[in-house]
Amino acid sequence: AGALRARPNLGVLWVDAHADINAPEFSPSANAHGMPVAFLTKLIDVDEIPGYKWMSKVPKLDPSKLVYVGLRDLDTFEKGLIKKLGIKTFTMQHVDKYGIGKIMEMSLDHLASQGECPLHMSFDIDGCDPSIAPATGTKVPGGLNFRESSYVCEAVAETGLLVSMDMVEVNPLLATRAEADATIDLGVDLIRSSLGQNILS
């Protein structure tokens, strides 16, 4: 939201197991953490939700400037909405089919086709497979492996357009000490990759 206020023409790469585009009346869990994209795209009337009125000052995220990577756990409502809005979406099935290199090429080409714009990357650690990121609350098997996750970040860094990033859902309280340390280390590595660190640097 802060990045959109500063740069209304922002393009967003959303790396996640979940689409986070649910609405209160359709969400099985009614958890707000499953709704941020719905808030950003103004599908939810923020004036009707206690505590979210401040978001009325945030510019609307254009769905054509949003790309999902790594989805694999969607509610029925979300599936229909993604199709209706025409959001560019790459599930783990697409990653399996094309490989992460081609997925990132298509993702960044799509965002570039909307006109050169600054990029924000939202990276939910549950986009990674639980085998490498166990310390998170909504684990879904079949996620991005270490190199796939790293390449996503490296490819974004190579554009030179990344202006902001969030790394979310790292929760050490939901795992053993070893699992928490592994997840935290992974998150830090991915942030470094997003800032330009790669194998040769």
Would you say 22 and 75 are in contact if contact means Cβ atoms under 8 Å apart?
yes
Q: Which one, of 122, 102, 90, 98, lies nearest residue 11 by Cα?
A: 122
Residues of the chain with pLDDT under 50: none
pLDDT at 51: 85
The pLDDT value given to residue 31: 66
Quote the pLDDT of residue 19. Answer: 95
Closest alpha carbon to 18 in 37, 42, 39: 37
Q: Are 37 and 28 within 8 A, CB to CB? A: no
Alpha carbon separation from 28 to 22, 25, 50, 78, 104 (Å, rounded): 9, 9, 19, 11, 31
Residue 200 is predicted with a pLDDT of 85
pLDDT at 33: 61
Q: Which two tokens stand for residue 16?
A: 């996640």
Give the CA count within 13 Å in the CB-facing half-sphere of 56. Answer: 10
Q: What is the SS3 string spanning the chain?
A: CHHHHHCCCCEEEEECCCCCCCCCCCCCCCCHHHCHHHHHCCCCCHHHCCCCHHHHHCCCCCHHHEEEEEECCCCHHHHHHHHHHCCEEEEHHHHHHHCHHHHHHHHHHHHHHCCCCCEEEEEEHHHECCCCCCCCCCCCCCCECHHHHHHHHHHHHHHCCEEEEEEECCCHHHCCHHHHHHHHHHHHHHHHHHCCCCCCC
Calpha distance 4→162 (Å, rounded) = 13
